[in-house]
Amino acid sequence: MPDFSLLAVTVAGLYLVALFCVYRILLSYRTAQGAIAWIISLIGLPWIAVPLYLLFGRNRFAGYVQARRLNDRTLEPLLTQYEQQAETLPYPGNAQNPDELSVLATLGRQPFTGGNDCTLLKNGDATFDALFEAMENATDYILLEFYIVRSDRVGNRILHILKRKLAQGVRVYFLYDDIGSVWLPGRYLKALKAAGAHVASFGDGNVRRRRLQINFRNHRKILVCDGKVGFVGGINLGDEYLGTDMGVEPWRDTHCRINGPAALGLQLAWLEDWHWATGDNPELNWQPSPSQMGDQQVLILPSSPADRWETCTLFFLNCINNARQRLWIASPYFVPDFQVMNALQLAAMRGVDVRILIPEKPDHLLIGLAAYSYLVTANECGIRICQYHAGFMHQKALLVDDRYAAVGTANLDNRSMRLNFEITALSTAADFVSEVEAMLEADLANSRTLERADYEDRSLLFRLACRSVRLMAPLL
């Protein structure tokens, strides 16, 4: 016969753990809908929700917050120096910006800098050619930070270049995310270390991740060479960005190369992450070098769950609320929360051309289903949700009127807004804005605008699935 006393003790213990999780949620939640979703799940289905909460649920990266406070003595002098030097550059600094842009500099804890050349890199071929060239030309150090690194053709080409540069005396610092790069073989990292590279996993500084906490992913994709040239965008180190993997061809993504002082902004973000993972503070170049090829004003805006504010959410809200004629956003994952969706609705209602570009073939089924649940509300106020059908669209780009454009790593979903470490480059230069406009126009030409009938005329089961997944958005 079953031991009912043991079963009762087990159930009671499970509910005590669930109640403790509820206690933690009530003390630390950021959004009511996320808290409610977790609390209902923990009370109603504790045998499922408790393990999930331990894996996904904690929404404040306390360890990094504490480390940031301790590291301020190291990083703040560099930030202060960077801000002071930015004001001496040829192009006017923050004082020349309207309030809507000045607030972004405050939000990201970095200044706008002039004297930059920001080049748009469309798709993997252009991006990898530029990355390889920059690394080959490095003379002092190479800093890498990527969410996904693969041991395929692209990954091995990177490995060979880094080993060659190490043999030439160039320092290499290689930071990867242990969740995104979970399939990266140990021999790849051992080869780098054997060649003299400094290698670290972002999870090395995260005790919680060692306890199977897989939130707080470092979703950034950064390369900096000698503090003079930097790269940021949606492209990881893998063959799929060349359209040769993942069963989806071609893979549509965007990166950008920055020559000039804004490369130091990428370097600052990299240094904070590296210091968190290793405790090390390598000697780097902090003297801004204005580009001879351009005079663009660029802001680097890092965002993370360790920030005082919800930086990523506030960035998007600021851009949406200040759009006057046009707001185009490309994001492979479109699961906005209420405040972002309401801001998009208001923008459309005041006559702004709001278009959201998403992939027709998502790489995550649940995320793809959730997007359909927004169609009725979007159509009613004039928001156009467009599905890109010429492959898988993974880019993260934003265009506000003809005034500024941004390329980075952040998506329009809860994970980017509140859980991931992300980074964005924003430029006010007319040439760059025009390039982004032309790029998005070409992408929109390869897309179809969804109508409410695409949701309403589907089966009841499909609509229930879409709405159910949307309820889970705070947990995705």
Residue 390: count of CB within 10 angstroms of its CB: 15
The amino acid present at 31, given as its one-letter code, is T
Of 234, 303, 319, the C-alpha closest to 265 is 303
- The dihedral built from the CA positions of residue 357, 362, 366 and 369, taken in this order, carries a sign that is positive
CA distance linking residue 414 with residue 316, whole number of Å: 12
Q: Is 275 a catalytic residue?
A: no
Given the residues 117, 177, 178, 226, select the one marked as catalytic: 226
CA distance linking residue 261 with residue 272, whole number of Å: 18
Given the residues 255, 275, 394, 443, select the one marked as catalytic: 394
Q: Is 396 a catalytic residue?
A: yes
Q: Is 226 a catalytic residue?
A: yes
Q: What share of the chain is helix, strand, coil (3-state, %, to 5)?
A: 50, 20, 30
Contact 108, 302 (CB under 8 A): yes
CA distance linking residue 206 with residue 6, whole number of Å: 35
Q: Is 401 a catalytic residue?
A: yes
Three-class SS of residue 149? strand
Q: Is 163 a catalytic residue?
A: no
Given the residues 221, 228, 255, 275, select the one marked as catalytic: 221
Phi, psi of 365 (to 5 degrees): -55, -45
Given the residues 219, 228, 255, 275, select the one marked as catalytic: 219
Given the residues 165, 396, 413, 443, select the one marked as catalytic: 396
Q: Is 394 a catalytic residue?
A: yes
CA distance linking residue 451 with residue 5, whole number of Å: 57
CA distance linking residue 45 with residue 348, whole number of Å: 40
Given the residues 140, 245, 401, 454, select the one marked as catalytic: 401
Q: Tokens 């060979």 — which residue?
A: 160
Residues with catalytic roles: 219, 221, 226, 394, 396, 401
